[in-house]
Amino acid sequence: MERELALEIVRVTEAAALASAQWMGRGKKNEADDAATTAMRKMFDSVNMDGIVVIGEGELDEAPMLYIGERLGTKMGPKVDIAVDPLEGTNIVAKGHNNAMAVIAVADKGTLLHAPDMYMQKIAVGKNAAGKINLDDPIEKTIEIVAEANNKRIQDLTVIIQERDRHDDLIERVRLKGARVKLFGDGDVGASIATALPHTGVDLFVGTGGAPEGVISAAAIKALGGDMQARLVPQTLEEEERCIAMGLKDPRQLLMLTDLVSGDDAIFAATGVSSGELLDGVRFLGGDLVETHSIVMRSKTKTVRYITAHHHLEHKPHLVMV
């Protein structure tokens, strides 16, 4: 992939964040998601690449834009797989909460796992613990391993877990072991990536969430030198058959980071919609001036860029003002 593509992808996440942020706190999650998707789709049209959506808003009959199998870009440039979540945290935006982002992962064609929209069990850590974790280990053992790798006492270790009933036992076991638990509501992409960024103070991500979000997270974690393992959790025969149809002979196989992102070149970009673990949110500075905060990283070079941009909305006619 070309170096310029990384910065082009940031323009796409910025557009989605700017569009959806206008719906912050208005109680309308579908409108926020539609705004992000529409803006992202229009901006993709200007990017020099020949991309195929492998993780998107659904199948062709479910989503008018950014559907699985759709071709994006000018059709000139590198052939790539694309995983998108135009608005990770639709409920977050509707309620005015933290941690909403627009996110994209791009990788060489054929290198992103084609993950169906179902549950996925996940574990993620930063570079110090890379290669030392196992999804099948008891959480107590994992905590010991990660604490030693990060040169921390167990009582100083922070484990981030999504606040869901299905995680009640896991949360209790982490606390009984003596580690700290940091709970979050929606948006597990930012939570898992936080383990690979030292300034967040998060050491370990565990839990069961969306499979598409897992693949998107994996692109960032690979760029940051961290580690991730996962396993799909099909709950019906239909979901099992869907996994097999998308290329997984064993729907419940242990997926390593190299299974999630098999190539050595992947780009991850995100722009904050509301402030969270990873990024500050969109800020309306008065008049037509708006500030965005983004991150973009590339696994091939291990380069991580934080980008603060000022936008004049009067020069962005493609954004629908609320």
Write out pLDDT tens, residues 56-68: 877 666 666 888 8
119 annotated binding-site participant: yes
Do strands 289-298 and 266-272 pair parallel, antiparallel, or not at all (unpaired)?
antiparallel
Residue 28 has pLDDT above 70, yes or no: yes
Q: What is the pLDDT of residue 192?
A: 95
Q: What is the pLDDT of residue 209?
A: 94
Residues 112-137: what's their mean pLDDT? 94
> Phi/psi of residue 129, each to 5°?
-100, 5
Residue 136: inside a domain, yes or no? yes
What is the CB-side half-sphere exposure of residue 31 using CA atoms within 13 A? 13
Query: Helix axis angle, 4-21 relative to 29-44, nearest 10°?
Result: 150
156 annotated binding-site participant: no
Domain count, the chain: 2
Query: What is the distance between the alpha carbons of residues 65 and 38, in angstroms, rounded to a whole number?
Result: 7
Confidence of residue 315 (pLDDT cuts 50, 70, 90): low
Q: What is the pLDDT of residue 316?
A: 66
196, 94: one domain: no
166 annotated binding-site participant: yes
Residue 322: inside a domain, yes or no? no
Q: What is the pLDDT of residue 120?
A: 95
Query: What is the distance between the alpha carbons of residues 215 and 86, in angstroms, rounded to a whole number?
Result: 15
Residue 320: inside a domain, yes or no? no
Q: What is the pLDDT of residue 248?
A: 82
Is residue 188 a contact partner of residue 162, using CB atoms and an 8 Å limit? yes
264 annotated binding-site participant: no
37 annotated binding-site participant: no
Query: What is the distance between the alpha carbons of residues 72 and 77, in angstroms, rounded to a whole number?
Result: 11
Query: What are the distances in angstroms from CA 194 to CA 44, 108, 291?
Result: 27, 25, 22
265 annotated binding-site participant: no
Is residue 57 a contact partner of residue 38, using CB atoms and an 8 Å limit? no
253, 160: one domain: yes
73 annotated binding-site participant: no
State the average pLDDT for the chain: 92
Q: What is the pLDDT of residue 61?
A: 61
213 annotated binding-site participant: yes
Domain that holds residue 178: 119-260
Domain boundary among 217, 244, 260: 260
CATH code of the domain covering residue 165: 3.40.190.90
Count CB neighbours of 176 within 10 A: 10
Query: What is the distance between the alpha carbons of residues 143 and 154, in angstroms, rounded to a whole number?
Result: 7
33 annotated binding-site participant: yes
127, 164: one domain: yes
Q: Is the pTM of this model over 0.75?
A: yes
67, 80: one domain: yes
Domain boundary among 260, 280, 297: 260
Place of tokens 């991730």: 228
Residues 6+ apart with CB under 8 A from 48: 2, 4, 5, 8, 73, 74, 76, 77
3-state secondary structure of 312: strand
DSSP string, 167-218: GHHHHHHHHHHT-EEEEE-S-HHHHHHGGG-GGG---EEEEEEEHHHHHHHH
Q: Which tokens go with 146?
A: 């990660």
34 annotated binding-site participant: no
88, 161: one domain: no
Residue 114: inside a domain, yes or no? no
Share of the chain above pLDDT 90, in %: 77
71, 196: one domain: no
135, 231: one domain: yes
310, 187: one domain: no
Is residue 189 a contact partner of residue 124, using CB atoms and an 8 Å limit? no
70, 150: one domain: no
Query: What is the distance between the alpha carbons of residues 239 and 198, in angstroms, rounded to a whole number?
Result: 37
Residue 143: inside a domain, yes or no? yes
Residue 171: inside a domain, yes or no? yes
Q: Which of residues 117 and 45 earns the better pLDDT score?
A: 45
Is residue 238 a contact partner of residue 105, using CB atoms and an 8 Å limit? no
Q: Which tokens go with 96?
A: 């005015």
221, 309: one domain: no
4 annotated binding-site participant: no
CATH code of the domain covering residue 85: 3.30.540.10
Residue 321: inside a domain, yes or no? no
102, 176: one domain: no
57 annotated binding-site participant: yes
pLDDT digits (tens, 9 = 90+) for 210-267: 999 999 999 999 999 999 999 999 988 988 888 888 778 888 999 999 999 998 899 9
Residue 156 has pLDDT above 80, yes or no: yes
214, 284: one domain: no
186 annotated binding-site participant: yes
